[in-house]
Amino acid sequence: MNPAKRLAIFDRLKLAIPEPTTELEYSSPFELLIAVVLSAQATDKGVNKATRLLFAAANTPEAILELGLPSLKGYIKTIGLFNTKAENIIKLCQQLLDHHHGQVPNTREDLEALAGVGRKTANVMLNTAFGQPTIAVDTHIFRVANRTGLALGTNVLQVELKLDKSTPKHHKKDAHHLLILHGRYTCIARKPRCLSCVIGDLCEFKGKLL
């Protein structure tokens, strides 16, 4: 894809979604971190439903540790893989207290050292909590990038690196959320809504309905 078409795609997405942001509910970097850890293989809607109750009871590392593992599991039991996620959350809370004075770190190395935090979660935190121009490739972004031709790749790391290199600089901070929201509501997995797509004429998807 040539740079002019790539720029036009991001320009149109930004016009259609002027204030792109996460749909996870949070009021601090710590709350966002917990929500993102919980969101793996889960919907934002399901995570928000659980965290509204959890954060009302405990929304700091100290409070969650005081809550304890059994009670934490009770709050998040509606979320997939909740047993493993609860164990990781308890561990990362202790790590935050032991190594970061209870604060969420703002470097990739420190974030990825936390229990349950991989590259994608670290990228989300760096972008959404700390305003860094990172792109966390989830299933939506992977699909949109490959369908449109923005960044072709057979795995999420390939797509991330290509997007990181080719996304217009002034769109880089918002690219993550622009692509997620476009994939969530327009370029959906089955029967993409090509007829109402703002970038339909720029897209390289062979099966588009135009």
- Output the domain CATH number for residue 63: 1.10.340.30
Are 124 and 71 within one domain? yes
Q: Is 205 part of any domain?
A: no
Are 9 and 44 within one domain? no
C-alpha dihedral over 118, 36, 175, 188, to 10 degrees? 110
Domain final residue pick, 86, 108, 129: 129
Of 120, 169, 174, 191, the active-site residue reads 120
Q: Is 109 part of any domain?
A: yes
Which residue bears the tokens 């934002």? 44
Are 37 and 86 within one domain? yes
Are 112 and 82 within one domain? yes
**Structural domains counted in the chain:** 2
Are 41 and 107 within one domain? yes
* pLDDT value of residue 210: 52
Are 72 and 125 within one domain? yes
pTM: 0.92
Give residues with Cβ within 8 angstroms of 209, minimum separation 6.
Answer: 192, 194, 195
Domain final residue pick, 73, 96, 129: 129
Q: Is 165 helix (H, G, I), strand (E, B) or coil?
A: helix
* pLDDT value of residue 1: 84
Task: Reply yes or no on whether 138 is catalytic.
Answer: yes
What does the DSSP assignment read for 81-131? THHHHHHHHHHHHHHHHHHHTTPPP-SHHHHHTSTT--HHHHHHIIIIIT-
Are 125 and 153 within one domain? no
Q: Which domain holds residue 62?
A: 29-129
Are 35 and 121 within one domain? yes
Under-70 pLDDT residues of the chain: 207-210
Are 101 and 143 within one domain? no
Are 122 and 172 within one domain? no
Are 156 and 188 within one domain? yes
Of 138, 165, 201, 206, the active-site residue reads 138
- Output the domain CATH number for residue 175: 1.10.1670.10
Q: Is 52 part of any domain?
A: yes
Are 33 and 92 within one domain? yes
